Amino acid sequence: MSWDRGVVIKNETELALMREAGRLNALALATVRELIRPGISTAELDAAAENVIRKNGGIPIFKGYPGAYPYPATLTISLNEELVHGIPSKRKLREGDIVSIDCGTLLDGFVGDSAFTTGVGKISEEAARLLEVTEQALYIGIEKMRKGNRTGDVSSAIQIFVESQGMFVTREYTGHGVGRNMHEGPQVPNYGTPGRGLELRPGVTIALEPMVLIGTSLTSVKPDQWTVVSADGSLTAHFEHTVAVTEGDPMILTLP
Ligand code: MG
Ligand code: MG
């Protein structure tokens, strides 16, 4: 799927369908969140999410996503220095890990895309602060998703906040328009220039997803050709919601 696919404005009916896709996606993520504990494998978490999605008539949209080889799972599960796109496996969660879970659900023709990062048992103060900063960056970005603003206003608000906290945003992976396809236009990086980019208008739907690193902004890809890690091995976090621009306040489509 192309990343420069055109921007598609959604009408009220389409937004209502996206809300339902987002709700099911949130249900899958909530189910996984409940299961997170030391000793559970990432494949077990993946199976639980797939079960919830299929039982409710949805399709896990990440599965088969084109890359070096088709993505093999429902979730991406990324631990510690893994930023995004970690592949579920027999690997077990351990006390003190931070785990990022990203999920995409197709329901009645529309996609919901959302992610969160959380701690496994007790985590370090540094890790806890990283999670707070990344989640806060998401909500700071969402607040800018208003009619008349531009995507650069959203991107720069995220960047300025994260960097003010002494942390870094990735330059290589971005938020994106979402709708009938998981990736539509526009791209919404986590850095940018105020006043630049696409002007936001009601019906624009964007998966906003700050990806934050403690050490540097640089990443590399592991030999599995999917898992993205911080280049310096430092901790990373990722939060995401699918959000619609409206005549009034931004509307989060991926809430329970
Ligand atoms: Mg996602
Ligand atoms: Mg996304």
Neighbours of ion ligand 1 (CB under 5 A): 102, 113, 115, 240
Ligand at minimal distance from the CA of 104 is 1
What is the value of pTM for the model shown?
0.97
Kindly give the distance from the C-alpha atom of residue 88 to the centroid of ligand 1, in angstroms, as a whole number.
15
Q: For position 2, what pLDDT does the model report?
A: 36
Kindly give the distance from the C-alpha atom of residue 248 to the centroid of ligand 2, in angstroms, as a whole number.
24
Residues listed for the chain: 256
25-63 burial, b for 16+ CB within 10 Å, e for fewer? bbbbbebbeeebeeeeebbebbbbbbebbeeeebbbbbb
Q: For position 3, what pLDDT does the model report?
A: 39
Residues of the chain with pLDDT under 50: 1-4
Kindly give the distance from the C-alpha atom of residue 172 to the centroid of ligand 2, in angstroms, as a whole number.
13
Kindly give the distance from the C-alpha atom of residue 103 to the centroid of ligand 1, in angstroms, as a whole number.
6
Q: For position 5, what pLDDT does the model report?
A: 62
Q: For position 86, what pLDDT does the model report?
A: 98
Ligand at minimal distance from the CA of 176 is 2
CATH architecture of the domain covering 2-225+238-252? Alpha-Beta Complex (3.90)
